Each structure stands twice: as C-alpha cells, then as structure tokens.
Amino acid sequence: MRYAHAEAERVELVVEAPAAATPRPEPVRTMPSAPRPPLESVTEALASDEPDPAPGGALLRPLAGGDGVFTATLDGPPVGGHAVAMVTLRSGRVVWDTLPTRAPAFRLVATDLDGTLLRSDLTVSARTRRALERVASSGAHHLVVTGRPAVACRQLLNALGYRGLAVCGQGAQLYDAGADRLLSSVSLDRDLARGVVAKVEAELGRVELGVVTSPPESRFKVTPGFGERVRHGWDVTTDPGRLWAAPIDKLILHHPHVDEDRLAAVAQRLTGGQVTVVHSVKGMVEVLPAGTDKGTGVARAAELLGFTGADTVAFGDMPNDIPLLAWAAHGVAVANAHHDLRAMADEVAPGNDEDGVAVVLERLFAPEGGRP
C-alpha cells in the first residue's frame, strides 16, 4: 500500500497484536493506552469521519519512506476490516487516517529478461522502472526468471537495482541477487549429453556445440563453428573432447543449415524425455537435465516466497517461456514473441522495445480511482 501526505513526518499502521510473541521483520510499538498530546481534540474527533481505533490489542508498525510518501505491505487483514494509520505531522500534531487497501490483481510478477523486460539494447526503460515501482508499492513482488546463468545476469540485475531471488539458467538455478549468492544449481550428466550429440548428429549431420560449465566457473565453451555467435569471454576450442572436461549445467546445439525449431523437435524426439530441450535464442537449442525448465524453477522460487501460480502474472517471449506462462494464472507474451508462445498466451502485449511489460503492469496495478 502507498500513503502520501505532504506534511507527514511519520506514518504508523495499526496492526493486530500477535497471539504469541514472535519475531517481526519491522519494529513495532504498542498502541498508546491514553491520548498523547497533541492528539485530535474530542470535538475534532467527533466532527471527523476519520476512524479513531481502539487502543487495545493492537500495535503500531511504521511505514517505510519519507518526504511525504510512505509504503508498506499489508501481510494480513487490517484491524476492523480497513487499514488505519496514525500520522505524525511535522508540526507535531497526530491525526488518524485510512489507507487504501485494494489488493493487487496479482501478488507475484514473473518476468523473463532478454526480449521481454529488457529492450533490444539490454536496458530497462524509465517507464518500465516506474511500472515495477508501482508493483512494489502495491505490495506485490517482482521475480526475474531468465535463461541466463546467474553469473551472466549479475550486472543486468545490478543495473536494474534488483535485490531479490532470481530464477536463472532456464530454471536450473536459484540466485540471491542481493547477497550475490547461488542458492542451488542442477547439473547435466556429461555422458547423457554426449549421447544426445551422437543421436542428433546421426540424423542431421555435424552440429556445432557449446556448454555452460557448472558453478562457480560457469564458463561458456564452444566449438569454432558458432562463428559470428562467439562473444567476448567465451572459450573456443577445436577439440570437442575438452567440452566434457568439467561438470556442465547445459549443452547448446547449433546447426548451420537447420533452424532451431526443427533442431529442437529432432532432439526432443530422439531423447525421449531423458533431457529437457528448449530454445530461447535464434539458432541455438539448449539441452538441460530432465524436469528442468522455467516452470519448475519459478514454482520452487514462488514456494520460498509464499506464492502460488494462482497469485502470478508472467511475461515472456520465447518457447522456453511456455512452462512459465503455463504455470502462471495469467500469461503474457510480448508482440515480438515466438509464434508458439503467442499462441498459448492469455494476452499479447506490445513488444519489448515498446515497453510491453510496463503497458500491462500499468493496467493491472493502476491506483484505485486513478488512471493507468
């Protein structure tokens, strides 16, 4: 919730006192048992339509903020069915006020990064930042769900000011961005990966290969045939055997003459569910441990955060986002999305370069009585 008052110095929300003493994340203090000057006078209170809550059985929890704007997340029903705050003005006078408590349409906003939240130049627009601030002010939570390994999205998350839990590596990793700590990671069996390569090459001919090694190294190692796809910092080797020298998280396939849709379909058919096959970048197909995808990854993260799919709106642009959107109550594809994702999405938003995520969030999290 959000509360604004130009003259407010401190705002404290009235919350129910817990039945038993339990640790609380914010400092609280007991409601005053008697009026403290300079409270409203009896005449003012009787003339006002603002609530004056009873002091018994309640605590005061301060809202975060300053300069006249304060925010908080209401983690339970308010006292008396509506939120009441004690507002200390800069003059020292204390007044009571109500706070709007309309529940957000969704409690969790799950977004892909590349091609979805990020523009094509890998930046986040000012409009999208404002929309995410509105999400946070409503009490909802933003969760990044990306195909990038944690090490490859650290700088992007820092630039976004993102400090929460993130799902990385197509769902294989849970990463605490604020602490810069990898919480969990799933590796791909190397013998199984080599078997996938052998089966695909037996049907389609030579395939160029890449692997992402397991943490903490998390290096991208590729064969020379990736050509113009090779980026700064990648390890290029002419000996494919060196790709299997260390544990890996994923295998990447690239065929110079077969498009990614057909390559993914062939790999999926030949492996018979032994692995997960997805593609999120044009020309590349990723092979992951069986059961690993963005849907399973976001479900694990949401459980840790106390949310479910029914609480969630999700955004994506590529077929690897299909499990993510299928898990969420409302799935949104941006206009530049792959046709398979657009076909299963509940809604198609403007493209990533037109701030499609922001357009939808502005509508879903429009302030009560205000314009999107």
| Least confident stretch, 79-83, 90-94, 290-294, 332-336 | 79-83
Kindly indicate the confidence band of residue 144, based on its pLDDT and cuts at 50, 70 and 90: very high
* Residue 38 contacts residue 90 (beta carbons within 8 Å): no
Got the DSSP string for 346-371? Answer: SEEEPPGGGTHHHHHHHHHTPPTTS-
Strand partners, 242: none
For the cut 70, the answer to whether the pLDDT of residue 117 exceeds it is yes
Question: What's residue 231's pLDDT?
Answer: 65
What SS3 class is residue 194?
helix
Q: Which of 246, 147, 248 is nearest to 193 (CA)?
A: 248
Residue-level pLDDT at 141: 94
The pLDDT of residue 370 is above 50? no
Residue 71, classified by CB atoms within 10 Å of its CB into exposed (0-12), middle (13-18) or buried (19+), is middle
Distance between CA atoms of residues 355 and 350, nearest Å: 7
Res 33 pLDDT > 80: no
| pLDDT in the model for residue 227 | 61
pLDDT tens digit sequence for 263-322: 999 999 999 889 999 988 888 899 999 999 999 999 999 999 999 999 999 999 999 999
Q: Is the confidence at residue 209, as pLDDT, over 50?
A: yes
Q: What percent of the chain has pLDDT over 90?
A: 53
Query: What is the per-residue pLDDT across 40-83, written as a single tens digit (0 to 9) for each?
Result: 444 444 444 444 444 455 677 788 887 878 776 655 555 555 67
DSSP state of 63: P
Q: Which two tokens stand for residue 243?
A: 């790709």
Q: Given a cut of 60, is residue 352 above it in pLDDT?
A: yes
- Rounded mean pLDDT of 117-131? 95
SS3 220: strand
Residue type, 248: I
Of 173, 191, 193, 168, give the one whose Cα is nearest residue 183. 173
Burial of 79 (0-12, 13-18, 19+ CB in 10 A): buried
What does the pLDDT read at residue 42?
40
Q: Does the pLDDT of residue 350 top 50, yes or no?
A: yes
pLDDT 10s digits, 6-17? 888 888 887 766
Q: Give the model's pLDDT for residue 312.
A: 97
Residue 261 has pLDDT above 70, yes or no: yes
pLDDT (0 to 100) of residue 8? 87
Identify the pLDDT of residue 236. 84
Give the Cα separation of 159 and 146 in Å (integer): 16
pLDDT at 30 over 80: no
Pick from 72, 69, 76, 143: which is nearest to 106 by CA? 143
Q: What is the pLDDT of residue 369?
A: 44
Residue 147 CA: distances (Å) to CA of 48, 132, 138, 260:
55, 21, 28, 16
C-alpha 329: how far from chain center: 15
pTM equals 0.72
- The pLDDT value recorded for residue 177 is 94
Higher pLDDT, 324 or 371: 324
- pLDDT per position as a tens digit, 225-246: 776 655 666 788 888 888 999 9
What pLDDT is recorded for position 51?
47
Q: Which residue has the higher pLDDT, 195 or 372?
A: 195
Q: Is the dihedral of CA 248, 207, 318, 269 positive or negative?
A: negative
User: 209 vs 39, 125, 219, 234, CA distance in Å?
Assistant: 72, 35, 14, 12
Stretch 350-360: mean pLDDT: 97
